[in-house]
Structure 1
Amino acid sequence: MNSTKHISSLQNALIKNVLVLKDKSRERKKTGSFLLEGIREFELALKGNYSIETIFYAEDLFSETKIEALIASLSPQPELISVSKEVYQKIAYRETTEGIIAIAKAKVHQLSELKFKNKNPLILIAEAPEKPGNIGALLRTADAANLDAVIIANPKTDLYNPNIIRSSVGCVFTNAIAMGNTTEIIAFLKQNNINIFCAALTASKVYTHVSYKTSAAIVVGTEATGLSNEWLENATQNIIIPMEGEIDSMNVSVSAAIVIFEAKRQRSL
């Protein structure tokens, strides 16, 4: 084992710092660190090449043998700290958990560093998403469709918010994600010859009447305000999902999924 340190006091300075890291976006941005909780999220973070700084584990929930197996290949080795049940319950975000919480280093997610897996990438862009649950659902959709990237324009929510990590089921760690403002993202897309398909109510074609077989970005806005005019003015084509009920919009993650899997269907033909 890398450490035999044990913490049983809620007044411990490190535990107090962990609580601030859990609750405050400002602290996450200041330190460049965040918390992840649970074995699945931990393993996905490792798969996404995240650096793990510290691991807290509850001895009655997670054995030393499991810890040793998880960190065997890590270099440098994270600090290991066993905590009492009371301390663990205090720092845990979920009501039901698996006994492991880690402090990890956040990534920068610069647009300039974004690399595509395919020559004709299919990417998802979300402008100004705010609700962590929606962001998590969008990331799960991107993972399910094996998209080349997700780009968040004009982000309003900390990507490492515990609610995003939880609702994405750890997909936040394995998707290729970049962030930027709308203007620079549009410039990036045009520079890389990526067609822009904006979900919109006006000047739109039915989403099934458009070809997504070449490089394509599917762009969605918020349910309340939709996309900004800058996106609509620079779109290759605005697209729409026909509605047959009384309302004219759906949850953003549902709308994105419908269009994304139509694009995937076309590309498989």
Structure 2
Amino acid sequence: MSYIKEINSVNNPLVRQTLVLMEKSRERKKKGLFIIEGIKELELAIKGGYALKTLFYYPELISYDTLLEYLKGVEDPPELVSISKGVFQKIAYRDSTGGIIAIAKTKEHALDHLKISSKNPLILVAEAPEKPGNIGALLRTSDAAGLDAVIITNAKSDLYNPNIIRSSVGCLFTTNIGMGTTEEVIRYLKNNNITINCAALTASKEYTSVDFTQPTAIVVGTEATGLSEEWLQESDQNIIIPMQGEIDSMNVSVSAAILIFEAIRQRKP
């Protein structure tokens, strides 16, 4: 395992590259690299099979020996870089990182790379989610429910946006994620005989009366516009959560959680 004793200057080329990867989606996509910040996130990334390229550590917060413990079992260990307090403060977004920041390689999320082993899958599909916080919350819910996959269609945000990683608390790394256009995802679901259940206000059945025990995709749209007409035309069943107040919609991650855990309840032996 290679080791750089210390980087002291915030003008170091590797430090500058890290800052660009944090801030620029285009650079992340071009290089196929992104930033992981925090011990818990690092652990989940390793568990999720992500390849680490460079690992910065601040010795005042984490020792070299402790760092090696976290990297036990990693087949291709990253370059280790000890950084000064000034460098750490420059590249750390938050104080609770535990002294660890890593450069890692992105994964491929095209639908033909999506591996679903279950014969009775439960999948969440999110159409055109924009807010990183909502995407992170959807991934946390999906992890909590043990879903077989999350599929994002017509993505408006870079999946490796640092705000998505932070808001998902690292669940991005342990969730089976696919991405594609609405047309591609509909074709994928139909080819795999997965029932399409769309959260919508029209022609809908109350969610508790819908059968989620068969191979199922729960499809949610944005709070502002809902699902596109393409989804509504291909839906096997529209589903609705009855509202008791004056509004007719909830935060997309809240709605998805209600629908997902109803499906989980129905599937219990």
TM bracket (short chain): over 0.9
Instruction: Classify the secondary structure of the residue corresponding to 2:97.
Output: coil
Q: Is the 8 A contact 1:45 1:173 kept in 2?
A: yes
| Paired residue type of 2:123 | I
Q: Where does 1:170-209 land on structure 2 (aligned, <5 Å)? A: 170-209=170-209
Q: Offset at 1:40?
A: 0.5
Q: Offset at 1:11?
A: 1.1
Q: Offset at 1:145?
A: 0.4
> In 2, Cα distance between the equivalents of 1:253 and 1:201?
17
Q: 2:58 aligns to what?
A: 58
Q: Offset at 1:176?
A: 0.2
Q: 1:146 aligns to what?
A: 146
> In 2, Cα distance between the equivalents of 1:267 and 1:11?
55
Q: 1:21 aligns to what?
A: 21
Q: Offset at 1:131?
A: 0.2
Q: Where does 1:1-269 land on structure 2 (aligned, <5 Å)? A: 2-269=2-269
> In 1, Cα distance between the equivalents of 2:77 and 2:206?
53
> In 2, Cα distance between the equivalents of 1:228 and 1:78?
43
Q: Is the 8 A contact 2:38 2:96 kept in 1?
A: no
Q: Offset at 1:96?
A: 3.1
| Paired residue type of 1:207 | Y
> In 2, Cα distance between the equivalents of 1:15 and 1:5?
15
> In 1, Cα distance between the equivalents of 2:253 and 2:22?
26
Worse overlay, 166-175 or 67-76: 67-76
> In 2, Cα distance between the equivalents of 1:65 and 1:224?
50
> In 2, Cα distance between the equivalents of 1:11 and 1:115?
42
> In 1, Cα distance between the equivalents of 2:27 and 2:228?
30
| Paired residue type of 1:251 | N
> In 2, Cα distance between the equivalents of 1:143 and 1:117?
16
> In 2, Cα distance between the equivalents of 1:44 and 1:183?
32
> In 1, Cα distance between the equivalents of 2:4 and 2:155?
40
Q: Is the 8 A contact 1:62 1:98 kept in 2?
A: yes
- Unpaired runs of 5+ residues, structure 1, are none
Q: Offset at 1:5?
A: 3.0
1:106-160: CA deviation from partner (whole Å, max 9, x where unpaired)? 0011101211131010000000000000000000000000000000000010001
> In 2, Cα distance between the equivalents of 1:219 and 1:4?
47
Q: Is the 8 A contact 1:93 1:162 kept in 2?
A: no
How many corresponding residue pairs?
269
* TM-score under structure 2 length normalisation: 0.98
| Paired residue type of 2:256 | A
Q: Offset at 1:68?
A: 1.3
RMSD over aligned CA atoms reads: 0.9
> In 1, Cα distance between the equivalents of 2:5 and 2:191?
52
> In 2, Cα distance between the equivalents of 1:187 and 1:97?
41
Instruction: Classify the secondary structure of the residue corresponding to 1:217.
Output: strand
**Identity level (%):** 65
> In 2, Cα distance between the equivalents of 1:252 and 1:77?
38
| Paired residue type of 2:242 | P
| Paired residue type of 1:173 | F
Q: Is the 8 A contact 2:120 2:214 kept in 1?
A: yes
Q: Offset at 1:95?
A: 3.5
> In 2, Cα distance between the equivalents of 1:134 and 1:194?
25
